[in-house]
Amino acid sequence: MTGINEVAVLAGVSTATVSRALSGNGHVSLATQSRVKAAALELGYVVSSNASGLATGRTKNVGVVIPFLTRWYYSSVIEGAEQALLSHGYDLTLYNLSGGGDERRSVFEHFLLRKRVDAVIAISLELTASELASLFEMNKPIVGIGGPLPGVRTLSIDDVKVARLATEHLLSLGHTSIAHIGGDTSVELDFHLPTNRRVGYEAALEAVGIPIDPELFAAADFSVPGGYRAAKQLLGNPRKRPTAVFAASDEMAIGTILAARDLGLAVPGDVSVMGIDDHELAGFFGLSTVAQFPAAQGRMAVELLMEELHPGRHVAAANTPLHFELIVRSSTARPRYSASER
């Protein structure tokens, strides 16, 4: 079996240089790195992760902690992070916390501490003081996605501004009766995402003098079935049917489109529908939305970790605002008539 010594001889360098060139740890000129990689390829040499870990103190493995795996947003963030980690030669270990409080406690108190990882990415998790303390005890880089965390470098999107932009798009089309499908305290997510998106919706209405109507709000669980059920109630009311619906996620917006069709309503002729996310099915449904680019968020989180894992790289600010963008499709249009004319 080919060893590191044979690679060093063929490349004409020391074994230490071979280790640095193949691990990415330490400075090696591009010419030398290419020569070492060519020698390793010719000889069929594969770096042993165990040996590399013993030599460098690193496992080339990053732990990713996530609240749900079945939702599109979270799986898209993971996909982006995994692609970026692979490009840097790192593996990913996933911890899904959807099982509840006991499972979450075990992850932070035992599994992450027992499993050898070089760094941790927490996706949309508002970590408690004790959870943060457990992570800090590991003395490893930590990056959070979704909102601010004390002492942790984070990436976050302004959910108030995102929701306000979505609502302003409907207002700009002439809608004055705009319903909102979001979350209440019973379905509150980490970083108060449902509340913040409702705040943005209400702020947009108040800015143009439209009073907030509690009857035009329905709570759902950020899923397609949840959006469907909530929309059925809002759109099925013959006395106060809105001309537009802003759903706090694309999945709920898709559920709204399906509910409208089942009620015999045309989208956008009878009701315009707006979402947030730019879900992979948004284009199929012609859904207007505010894109938040989750795969890019995963890649950005990895780049932040690389800045800390490799000395000499530029270290970004404590919190990095995330980009979002209005995408207009066929689910929104000017109202045919006002809600009072129905």
> Is 65 in contact with 97 (CB distance < 8 Å)?
yes
Tens digit of each residue's pLDDT (9 = 90 or more) over 183-214? 876 655 566 888 999 999 999 999 999 999 99
In this structure, of 48-62, 163-177, 226-240, 301-315, the range with the lowest mean pLDDT score is 48-62
Q: Which amino acid is at 15?
A: T
Cis peptide before 211 (omega within 30 of 0): no
Give CA–CA dist 332/268, Å, rounded: 5
> Is 254 in contact with 275 (CB distance < 8 Å)?
yes
Tens digit of each residue's pLDDT (9 = 90 or more) over 102-146? 777 777 777 776 667 888 999 988 888 888 888 888 788 889 998
pLDDT number for residue 26:
63
Give CA–CA dist 291/293, Å, rounded: 6
**Has residue 316 got a pLDDT over 70?**
no
The alpha carbon torsion through 219, 220, 225, 229 (nearest 10 deg) reads -10
pLDDT number for residue 82:
93
Which tops the pLDDT comparison, 19 or 196?
A: 196
Instruction: Report, at the CATH architecture level, how domain 61-157+294-310 is classified.
Output: 3-Layer(aba) Sandwich (3.40)
* 159-291+326-341 has the same fold as 4-56: no
Give CA–CA dist 234/242, Å, rounded: 8
Which tops the pLDDT comparison, 171 or 96?
A: 171
Give CA–CA dist 334/175, Å, rounded: 7
**Has residue 30 got a pLDDT over 80?**
yes
pLDDT number for residue 130:
82
Superfamily designation of domain 4-56: lambda repressor-like DNA-binding domains (1.10.260.40)
- According to CATH, the topology of domain 159-291+326-341 is Rossmann fold (3.40.50)
In this structure, of 148-162, 176-190, 246-260, 268-282, the range with the lowest mean pLDDT score is 176-190
Domain segments of the chain: what residues? 4-56, 61-157+294-310, 159-291+326-341
> Is 67 in contact with 97 (CB distance < 8 Å)?
yes
Query: What's the chain's length in residues?
Result: 342
pLDDT number for residue 129:
84
pLDDT number for residue 328:
98
Beta bridge partners of 288: 274
